Structure 1
Amino acid sequence: MPHDSASPALSMDADLSAPPERVPGLVETLLCILGYFALQFGFGGLFGALSQLISRQFPQNVPAAPDRLIVVVILTLICSATITIAVLVRRWGARATEGGLSGLGFTPPDGRHIAFATVLGFAAPILGGLLTSWLAGGHDVSQAVSDIADKAHLGMRAALVPIAVVVGPLVEEVLFRGAFLATLRARMGDGGAIAVSAAVFGLVHLPDLDWLWYAVPNLVLVGLFCAWLRVRSRSIWPAFVTHAVNNAMATVGWFMR
């Protein structure tokens, strides 16, 4: 009957005329990245002040300063990462589970990409270490979190490992290889997006590296590996694996000094 064929056509027209779901633009994504570091600053100040207050009130019942600082770092990163990931996933909506051009990449990974990501995770600190040594010309390079761990007791170093290996890489992958890379790919293609996202990823870590520029290329290399994996695999998880393995290699040194 005529009316039976008209209804699907009307429904299709309605779907086609509906505006597509808008994903965040470049400015909004950059504000999310800045917001993550602002949250770290705010929570770090809050928990640091609480730590100082408790140590003054109960000087005989609190851990030493390096151990208290690790507690501050753990709480700061957990709170900052949780809020940041929740905001991004909510903002991207259904596209958070898409692996395409404008998705965050929370899609199931292929096993071969995970295997290759693991290899890259082991290769990154080796290649990056050689590059940094060449650029540094014999100067020492360390990150703030490693300096904190070196002064803390063994148990507190162990407590910091999941934060450095899981929480930190997860939120940074969602930010840089999820949100930021997606907005760049829509504007400059895969090659340019991979390069720019990796460069920005390295540069934002300069304060944590005590502004030692020759330590940045190492992080840029990690960013290149992770961004390439994200594009190639259509999933954020291989990039997370590379980042996590790279960080895990760095934490080994905390227990060998």
Structure 2
Amino acid sequence: MNARGPRPPAWKTLLALLSLSLSALLWLNGLLQSLDEPTVVGALDRRQLELTALAAPAVPPSLRELLTGPDPLKTLRETLADQLEETPGPGQPDELLQLALLQSRAGEAKEASQLWRRLEQQVPPEQRALVAALERGEPLAPELRQTLEQPWLLSPLNERLVCERLSGSPGACAPGPEARQALWRLLAVSWLPGGLLLVGLGLLVRQAWIRVRGLAPAAPPLQGPPLDLVDVTLLIAGGFVLLGELSVPLLLAPAVQTLLRPLGQEPALQQGLQVLLLYLALMAAPLAILWGQLRSSPGAAPAAGWLQWRWAPLATSLRLALQQVLMLLPAVALVGWLTSQLVGDQGGSNPLLELVLTTDQPWALLCFALTAVVLAPLFEETLFRGVLLPVLGQRWGGTAAVVVSAVVFAAAHLSLNELAPLLVLGLGLGWLRLQGGRLGSCTLVHALWNGFTFTNLLLLAG
């Protein structure tokens, strides 16, 4: 396919340059603003420590040091105290309650007393009775204790801590099935990823050895849509950024909120549907532009289509995707760790992470899953590896195309804190597109990656 066609009209070039300039300003502003956005890292750390403390009674004594550490409740208490000190504002009631319980348990009566007073001023009247009872620390009958707990919707760990403080009998709060369930969840979120990291590291070493020995199969010819740089700029800068990311929230978000107003009694479901519908709306303009561009393209499409999905045989696509996910795990983890060590946590996490972590409404979670695991991989891979990478590759070569498409992919997520890990993920996806020639495999990698993250959040949330 000829990489260079006739020169586009001047108006089209000017429109592309204007779209590119506006998009660059919007993305730069979004990246800088991400530094002021809340981060989910602290919440993830706290959830994992809670899970560890909840699972500790079910861990065999011989493995306790390895799996949970010597005193997980102490670690949780110190971490929670540091987070509340560093975070502006009064703090969430469940966090204050948990810290007060842990401090009372550790004999830090003065610190706990201050938190009990803060809680009494912060919570609604129906929750103050439990706070007062906990501050006194006098044993209560189980029926009365359960009545006081009802307005709180306590987490399993907080429920156990409340029981210990108000029961007056150590045997009354023996860990039940929730401790064993927490142990399985802890193994899934802590130790299973470690095993997968080792497998991925082995695959990376094997891949490097194959490359050094010159045994790797030749990459297939890079095929893609017959578009020029102006077309791609209009598609991504004009369609995705200006019409999608900018216009959809401004123009359609109020209409979607009005449409979903009857679900006001189900705020989680309302939010889940809003995320799903707005993402579908964001996809509409760029996909319509791409459809028009391909429809007006001269010549016949290649056998596998302009985008080279090539799902079949599905077993091959899945094998390539699984291998790439495993190889990406150690690389992304290393870059993420280095970023946190060098610059710390600068905020700006994906807001969808917090929504998944704090939602227990099944239909809302389904909406979040459809958005993150199905729609986002299909849409983003279509733009970045289906269109941008091959069009750039036909002009600048495969390596430059992989790097540039990865940079654009990482910047599109508008998070400086996650920029470096997303760049590595984009490089891996681009390398797979270049070496395998299958957009379907890239989409499966992206879906598996997001699905892995989504599952971890569900396990942490319990």
Task: Compute the TM-score of the two structures, normalised by the length of structure 2.
Answer: 0.44
Whether 1:152 aligns to 2:359 is yes
- Assess if the C-alpha contact under 8 Å between 2:257 and 2:274 holds in 1: no
Whether 1:253 aligns to 2:461 is no
Whether 1:69 aligns to 2:296 is no
State the shift of 1:148 in Å: 2.7
The 5 A counterparts of 1:105-124 are 105-110=308-313, 111-124=315-328
State the shift of 1:146 in Å: 1.1
Whether 1:29 aligns to 2:236 is no
The one-letter amino acid of 1:136's match is: S
Q: 1:81 aligns with which of 267, 277, 283?
A: 283
Moved more, 178-187 or 116-125: 116-125
Structure 1 residues 107-128: Cα deviation after superposition (integer angstroms, max 9, x where no partner): 3445434302122224434531
- Assess if the C-alpha contact under 8 Å between 1:84 and 1:171 holds in 2: no
How far apart in 1 are the matches of 2:385 and 2:335? 23
Query: SS of 1:191's equivalent?
Result: helix
Structure 1 residues 169-188: Cα deviation after superposition (integer angstroms, max 9, x where no partner): 11111100011112201211
The one-letter amino acid of 2:454's match is: T
How far apart in 2 are the matches of 1:77 and 1:96? 29
The 5 A counterparts of 1:83-98 are 83-93=285-295
- Greater RCO (Cα-Cα under 8 Å, separation 6 or more): 1
Structure 1 residues 83-141: Cα deviation after superposition (integer angstroms, max 9, x where no partner): 433432442247665569xx422334454343021222244345313321221125276
Whether 1:220 aligns to 2:426 is no
Hey, what does 1:45 align to over in structure 2?
A: 250
Hey, what does 1:190 align to over in structure 2?
A: 398
Q: 1:139 aligns with which of 332, 345, 356?
A: 345
How far apart in 2 are the matches of 1:77 and 1:97? 30
Query: SS of 1:218's equivalent?
Result: helix
The 5 A counterparts of 1:204-219 are 204-205=412-413, 207=414, 209=415, 211-212=416-417, 215-219=418-422
| Alignment RMSD (CA, Å) | 2.9
Where do 5+ consecutive residues of structure 2 fail to align?
Answer: 7-224
The one-letter amino acid of 1:237's match is: G
- Assess if the C-alpha contact under 8 Å between 2:317 and 2:440 holds in 1: no
Query: SS of 1:157's equivalent?
Result: helix
How far apart in 2 are the matches of 1:116 and 1:130? 22
* Cα 1:86–1:118 shift into 2, 3 Å: farther
Task: Compute the TM-score of the two structures, normalised by the length of structure 1.
Answer: 0.76
How far apart in 1 are the matches of 2:292 and 2:438? 18
- Assess if the C-alpha contact under 8 Å between 1:98 and 1:106 holds in 2: no
Structure 1 residues 135-158: Cα deviation after superposition (integer angstroms, max 9, x where no partner): 112527631221232333331123
> What percentage of residue pairs aligned between the two structures are identical?
22
User: Based on CA coordinates, which of the two structures has the bigger radius of gyration?
Assistant: 2
How far apart in 2 are the matches of 1:178 and 1:225? 14
Moved more, 87-96 or 239-248: 87-96
State the shift of 1:82 in Å: 4.1
- Assess if the C-alpha contact under 8 Å between 2:410 and 2:422 holds in 1: yes
* Cα 1:177–1:54 shift into 2, 3 Å: closer
How far apart in 2 are the matches of 1:167 and 1:52? 21
Where do 5+ consecutive residues of structure 1 fail to align?
Answer: 1-18
* Cα 1:239–1:96 shift into 2, 3 Å: farther
